[in-house]
Amino acid sequence: MILNIIYFTIAIIVSLALGVGCAYYFFRNSANGIISKAKEEAEIIKRDKIIEAKEKFIALKTEYEKEINQRNKKCQEHEDRLRQREQQLNQRQGDVQRSLNEVNQKTQAIEQQKQSIEQQKQSLDFKTREIEKMQRQAQQQLEQIAGISAEEAKKQLIESLKDEAKTNAMSYVNDIMADARLTANKEAKKLIVQTIQRVASETAVENAVSVFPIENDEVKGRIIGRGGRNIRALEAATGVEVIVDDTPEAITLSAFDPVRREIARLSLHQLVLDGRIHPARIEEVVAKVKKQLEEEIIETGKRTAIDLGIHGLHPELIRMVGKMKYRSSYGQNLLQHARETANLCAAMASELGLNPKKARRAGLLHDIGKVPDEDPETPHALYGMRLAQQYGEKPDICNAIGSHHDEIEMETMLAPIVQACDAISGARPGARREIVEAYIKRLNDLENLALSYPGVVKTYALQAGRELRVIVGADKLSDKETELLSFDLAKRIQDEMTYPGQIKITVIRETRAISYAK
């Protein structure tokens, strides 16, 4: 049994030994094969890298040689250009040297000519002295023969020539004067007729009434208001008499001042469109319309200046020109009259060979003295000249404005042209109406008389001057003083003014308390 175990153990050991030996031999052969294969692959990779490195080296060498060749080529080109420039410089240096030589030669030639001229001049001076000596001798001989000196003979000749020239000049002047007397009137009439024909315009006379159209009588009732309060508020705010009668679809606005009528008309138009008609709204709209009208006046002045080609007017003069639209002269619209006069002046100045732009400017501004309300004692021509001087107009323009009614002397040809064209514009048939001007002056005097009292805020002449409405400040006059003011006004109007019928003086004193909730 034990022997079997021993044999079995020995067999196992021998088997293990054989197995280990076989495994060792197998693994050894496998490792040698892997190592040899790895060496072969390494050799292949090494050869590839060496070949790749050689290729890169060759490529870099080729690129470097190419770059070297390009640089060498550029250097060669620079050297060629430098050689060309050197040759050009050498050539220019030679040219300059030759030019210097030529200049030196010319300078020498000029010096020689100068010396020759000096010699000739000396010779001429000698000859001139000889000739003058001979002339003096000949003059002395002539004076001895004639028995009179040269100066006396010269004076006698001059006197005889003067007498002859005077005789011829007087004859020529007499001929011209005679011809001018025959043709002056004819030429002047022809010039004026041509000018009038070239500048024909419509004539229109201002009136004191505007008609405001309305759609129906319901609107008329809303304008009147409860107990007539809306009409009273509108009249107090604008100074225009609002006449509501049986005329269908119309309300009449009566006032001698066109500005007031226009404010009332525009205010009524806005109130009717808005639909809210009550005293507070009326005052608000009237204030707004007054501001709008002021802007429209300025725009009218600018448009007029542009239409006439007049530039550089002072803004205040532009405003006055625009305000002419709402002024009249003997019933003739002042802006239309000024435009017409300007065009007439330009046409006449062109016919006479003068500056038409200056003439047009003077014609437009000749009546600006009628626009402002202040300084009524000064004639409008002188006042207009003062305004033109104040706002930088040139002296000839100012003189034409101030002398167009002969208050001052005319200094330029522009002044008589403005005077003639002003008369032509005003003398057109139907252009003016003396009665209207007198009527407007009377109403202005009536309002100015009331405004002269202290405490008076506004004055409005209504109903063609048959009513004077005076608004006073409640904080300035008491009720008793208001009654005295009404009485005193009536007495002064009776004593100082001439008027038909009677005038009703209404003095209004009211207290207003205004506050704002914020």
pLDDT in tens, 90-109: 888 888 888 888 888 888 88
Query: In the structure, what pLDDT confidence band is assigned to residue 398 with cuts at 50, 70 and 90?
Result: very high
Query: In the structure, what pLDDT confidence band is assigned to residue 399 with cuts at 50, 70 and 90?
Result: very high
**Residue 431 CB partners (closer than 8 Å, separation 6+):** 203, 205, 332, 337, 425
Q: What is the pLDDT of residue 431?
A: 46
Q: What is the pLDDT of residue 183?
A: 60
Angle between helical axes of 395-402 and 414-426 (0-180°, round to 10) = 40
Q: Token pair for residue 233? A: 């508020």
First to last CA, the chain: 132
**pLDDT of 325 above 70:** yes
Query: In the structure, what pLDDT confidence band is assigned to residue 483 with cuts at 50, 70 and 90?
Result: confident
Query: In the structure, what pLDDT confidence band is assigned to residue 188 with cuts at 50, 70 and 90?
Result: low
Buried b / exposed e over 13-35, threshold 16 CB at 10 Å, is: eeeeeeeeeeeeeeeeeeeeeee
Q: What is the mean pLDDT of the chain?
A: 78
Neighbouring C-beta atoms of residue 270, cutoff 10 Å? 15
- Interval 34-55 mean pLDDT: 82
What DSSP character marks residue 314? Answer: -
d(CA 269, CA 431): 30
Of 184 and 401, the structure prediction assigns the larger pLDDT to: 401
**pLDDT of 462 above 80:** no
pLDDT in tens, 164-181: 666 666 666 556 656 655
**pLDDT of 306 above 80:** yes
d(CA 156, CA 150): 10
d(CA 486, CA 465): 16
Q: Token pair for residue 208? A: 């004191």
Lowest average pLDDT, out of 200-214, 260-274, 437-451, goes to: 200-214
Query: In the structure, what pLDDT confidence band is assigned to residue 435 with cuts at 50, 70 and 90?
Result: very low
Of 295 and 202, the structure prediction assigns the larger pLDDT to: 295
Give the three-state DSSP class for 505: strand
How large a percentage of the chain has pLDDT more than 70? 77
- Interval 126-136 mean pLDDT: 80
d(CA 22, CA 19): 5
Q: Is the pTM higher than 0.85? A: no
